[in-house]
Amino acid sequence: MEAQAPPKVTVIVNNKEVVFDDRTVTGLQIKQTAISQGVSIQANFALFEKKPSGKLRPVPDDEEVHLHPKQEFRAVHADDNS
């Protein structure tokens, strides 16, 4: 019996849907995948996870993140403090 591929997961990066094949990825992989799917960011941008409370949690490039559907991220230029 052939193993089934894990289901894809869709998250939000800068208000745009980004689809991942893997559920566990690094911060850098989140940015690279978003860029490849047309999100207007760069790999050197700072990445944040938007928590349900509205707070932003920094996600370093080398941190592994377990993705879940509709999880929200923001990527901003490192000099942008907004």
Q: What is the pLDDT of residues 1-19, one digit of tens each?
A: 566 666 899 999 999 999 9
CATH code of the domain covering residue 37: 3.10.20.90
Strands 9-13 and 16-20: antiparallel
Whether 37 is covered by a domain: the verdict is: yes
Count of domains observed in the chain:
1
Angstrom distance (rounded) from CA 47 to CA 43 = 9
- Residue 21: give the domain boundaries: 9-76
**What per-residue confidence (pLDDT) applies to 14?**
98
Angstrom distance (rounded) from CA 3 to CA 47 = 33
pLDDT value at 71 more than 90: yes
pLDDT value at 28 more than 80: yes
- Return phi, psi of residue 47, to 5°: -110, 140
